[in-house]
Each structure stands twice: as C-alpha cells, then as structure tokens.
C-alpha cells in the first residue's frame, strides 16, 4: 500500500501566503550572491582601495569633505544595487522574452532579485568601509558619530526604491541599442554623470557656478541630502521637506520607469529585436 505524502507549508509560507514568492526570490538571490567568494574578495579590495584613495586625497585638502564622503558612503552602501546590468543583459540577449511569460510583474521580480542579490555584497562593502574609517581615525580623521542624525536611516527603504527605479529606467536604454557593448558603455557614462549630480564625488554646494542649482535636482536625493541630514546639517523642517520630496520623487520615478520600459517593449515587439 503506497503511503501518500502530504505537503506541509513552511512557517514563512504560512505567514506570507501569496507573498511568499517574493521572499523566495530574495532568499535565492541572497544565497546566490554569496556563492563566489573570490569575486567577493576582489570586490572588497576594490572598495578598500577606492575609498582609501578618496579619503586620503580629500583629507589633505579638505577634511570636512572627506567626512562628508564617508558619511554618504555609509548610507549609499545600504542602497546600491546596479541592477541595470542584469536587466539590460536580459533585454539585449533576448532572455527578457521568456521572462515576459511569467504572470508576475517584471518590475517586482527584478526589485526583489536586486534586494536579495545586493544585501550580502553591500554589507561586506559597509564592513570594508568601516575598516577604512578605522584606519584613518589613527591619523586624526574621525567621524562625528555623536552628532549624527540617525533618523536618516528611515529614508533607506525609499532610497533603495529610488535607486532601483533609476536602474530600471537606465536598463530601458538596451531596447534602443543593438549590441551589449554599446549598452555597457552608455550605462557606464550615465552612471558616472549620476554620481557627479548626486554629490557622491564632491559636495554639490562646493561646485563652482552650478553648485546651488545642482542641489535642487532630484538626483541629489540619492547622496547629497541624505549625507547632510546624517551629519546633522539640516533642521527638522528641512529634513521633513527632504523626506516629503523623496516620497513624491519615488512615486513619479516609478511610473516614469515603467512607462519608458513599456515603450521599449512596444519597440521590441514591432521591430522584432
């Protein structure tokens, strides 16, 4: 007599119900991201060298700017994902066609993939950054942790969402390019421009002529304004205003990213790329 096996849902399946698939995607990408230790080591070496050089140069010329960059980096390593590479490669290679058959939203699939895929590496990057901070603390350059406004961490979910929506928008460029090399080159240039406009290379208010204008661009919400809040430079009213603008911008960017992606899909269907 054959014994029938009865499937018993896990605790997470019981708790999340139909939302369990998003947890599964996040968990899967988390596991996958930690499966390449050699790549992780090289990634941390790159993080260490880059941040050490930046902090060293700025500490010689402007210790205030060095502290600003380190503070902003602490926040940015919670939100970085660079998921436009994977989405763009799927578009250029044609793999996106298969993904379109899934009944779920592609935006949400990629969002939770990026959430799980970047958590591990971002945490490692954060640890490496604190090693850089510890190293420079012996030379007298220390972060004013006692003055930090830790309410800024409430913004992290919105920052991550804005960052991902920006990536989703950038990836749509692949619909209008024929070669993956063109896509990689284009996105690299765009990413560098966004780094400058967000204030992750230099404080926006110190840039000659354009500084005061760049501060009011929405892209500055990704680095400059959160760093200023973190350092305690903004009053409660200014912090609340940044928070409100960030919510509005995240909603608008979400719809713009999905609209441009749909336009790319229509071109993909009509031209047959």
- The average pLDDT across 160-173 equals 92
Tens-digit pLDDT profile for residues 6-17? 778 888 887 888
HSE-up of 64 (CA within 13 Å, CB side)?
5
Report the chain's mean pLDDT, rounded to a whole number.
87
Cβ atoms within 10 Å of 232's Cβ, excluding its own: 16
Residue 53 DSSP SS3: helix
pLDDT tens digits for range 40-61? 888 889 999 999 998 899 988 8
Around 164, how many Cα atoms within 13 Å sit in the side-chain half-sphere?
23
**Which among 169, 174, 198 has a CA at the least distance from the CA of 186?**
174
Q: Is the pLDDT of residue 19 over 70?
A: yes
Which pLDDT score is estimated for 2? 58
Residue 176 confidence class, pLDDT cut points 50, 70, 90: confident
Q: What is the pLDDT of residue 269?
A: 67
Q: Is the pLDDT of residue 271 over 60?
A: no
pLDDT digits (tens, 9 = 90+) for 186-205: 888 998 999 999 999 889 98
| Lookup: tokens for 261 | 């992606």
């Amino acid at each position: 007599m054959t014994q029938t096996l009865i499937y018993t849902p896990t605790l997470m399946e019981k708790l999340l119900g139909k939302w369990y698939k998003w947890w599964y995607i996040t968990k899967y990408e988390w596991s996958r991201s930690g499966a390449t230790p050699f790549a992780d080591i090289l990634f941390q070496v790159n993080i260490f060298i880059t941040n050490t050089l930046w902090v060293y140069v700025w500490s010689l010329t402007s210790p205030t700017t060095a502290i600003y960059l380190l503070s902003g980096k602490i926040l940015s390593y919670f939100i970085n994902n660079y998921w436009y590479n994977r989405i763009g490669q799927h578009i250029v290679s044609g793999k996106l066609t298969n993904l379109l058959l899934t009944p779920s939203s592609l935006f949400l699939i990629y969002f939770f993939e990026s959430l799980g895929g970047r958590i591990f590496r971002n945490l490692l990057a954060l640890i490496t950054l604190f090693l850089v901070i510890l190293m420079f603390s012996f030379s007298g350059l220390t972060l004013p942790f006692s003055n930090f406004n830790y309410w800024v961490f409430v913004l992290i979910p919105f920052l991550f969402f804005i960052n991902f929506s920006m990536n989703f928008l950038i990836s749509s460029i692949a619909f209008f390019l024929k070669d993956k090399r063109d896509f990689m080159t284009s996105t690299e240039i765009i990413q560098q421009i966004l780094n400058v406009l967000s204030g992750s290379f230099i404080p926006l208010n110190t840039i000659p002529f354009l500084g005061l204008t760049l501060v009011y661009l929405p892209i500055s919400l990704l680095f400059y304004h959160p760093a200023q809040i973190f350092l305690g430079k903004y009053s409660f009213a200014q912090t609340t205003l940044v928070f409100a603008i960030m919510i509005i911008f995240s909603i608008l960017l979400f719809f713009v990213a999905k609209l441009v992606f749909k336009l790319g899909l229509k071109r993909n269907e009509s031209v047959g790329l």
